[in-house]
Structure 1
Amino acid sequence: MADFITRFNKNLEKIDSLALSFYEKDLLFSAYYNHLNHLEISPQARELMKALGISFRHKNIIFDSEILESKTLESNQSKVQNNQAKAQKEPKERALSLFECENKAKALQTQSEHFLEQIKLNLEKTLHPQELAFLKISAIYQKLEQEKARLQEALSELTANFLQGFENLEAPLQTEITQKANALTRALEKQKNLSAKLCFKILEIKNAQTKNTTSLETLINELDAYLQNIKH
């Protein structure tokens, strides 16, 4: 177990050390979690991994040395940005059906609940309740829980009202409902990814010899900014 935790922390550090955006790191954290749990890795994450020469093997992150040596970080970043732009266009080209949104939301809910449970379980074992970081993370945890519940309720209401008999609706209404369902599903995925990042960070700190205060504060600020910008 100790050996796995050591390797786990080193793999987290590998992802954190990359000069990538918060969104891109989240894709990699989520992909690594899926690898550990034998779950499917998203196409966007696979594209990003290919661009960076990254693969997962035996619960480890492997870097392709030839790709790293032949490409500068800037050229990798350029390719990643192109892939990200392509991924952002993807929902318009291939929107999920209402049924697919419902199924994906169930999977996201299961993953998100796992991360949130781990956050709650390990927070008191990692930080003292009087520490500012503990108080901030507790507040962020509550907001992530509330946002998950809000998004799930909105999507459940949408599918409950329109899933049956959807094909009988007028085309403009079908389009509007599908777009809203896809937007809610993407928001659920983002909420899950943020919960995963916070969960991994707490586990990293819990098993580290010393606390990386700067790294933790940066993550807290990023999460705070995301939660403050949520449009209800």
Structure 2
Amino acid sequence: MKLKKIASLALAGIMAVSMLAGCKDGGNGTNNGGASSDNSNTNSGYSAYVLNMSNAGDSKSIVAADDAKLNAAVENFVKNKPVNFSNMSNVRNLKLLSDVTGKNNADVKVWLAQAARDMSGATAVATGNGWDTVLGVNENKDKDKTAYCIYYISAAMNDDVIDNLVANKIDQIAGVINGSFNPDKEDSYSFTVSATKEYWQVGKDANADDDGVVIGIAVNFEYNKAEY
């Protein structure tokens, strides 16, 4: 009987040690998980989401990172509600905001100027495929630079459709710039793509036929000289 009691106590002791070890391993597992997240790539937020949806996401020369300046430019634009347009539901694809509102609209000019201030140091893309020209493909190609563009689409389109259209736009941009930049021998280049979107309620009440979504896309170009 005494031997049974000793055996029971010994078994209880072994189980207690096992449980403590299990808790310790669990704690280490959690810490390891946290450490592994530090080793993730530089892609982040919405920019990474839409880049990963695009074919350009497979390119080693293109990464994604959210841009605080771009976020501010779009947020400030929609917050100020520059104009009250009606029946915008026919805009079913990404269009340059200036094409939708009219290039000479005085109110829009004011807030596009504000966007330019928010994006200080960057150049606005004024035409749909003007990314190569703005980034300076044929001259000063060895100087880092940033270009951006602001697009519009009807709020009648759902988020999945809009996100896919943004990813397609990134593919178009990547096609333009990848087909235009030819680094010197042994040199290379890299692009950082940023994207953001904000709902634009143009009237007092939400209305999918009148309201829209404003999308900002920015590309930072970096030329990397070979080191010998």
Q: Same fold (TM over 0.5)?
A: no
Taking structure 1 as the reference length, the TM-score comes to 0.30
Higher relative contact order (CA 8 A, sep 6+): 2
Taking structure 2 as the reference length, the TM-score comes to 0.30
Task: Name whichever structure is richer in helix by fraction.
Answer: 1
Larger Rg: 2
Task: Name whichever structure is richer in strand by fraction.
Answer: 2
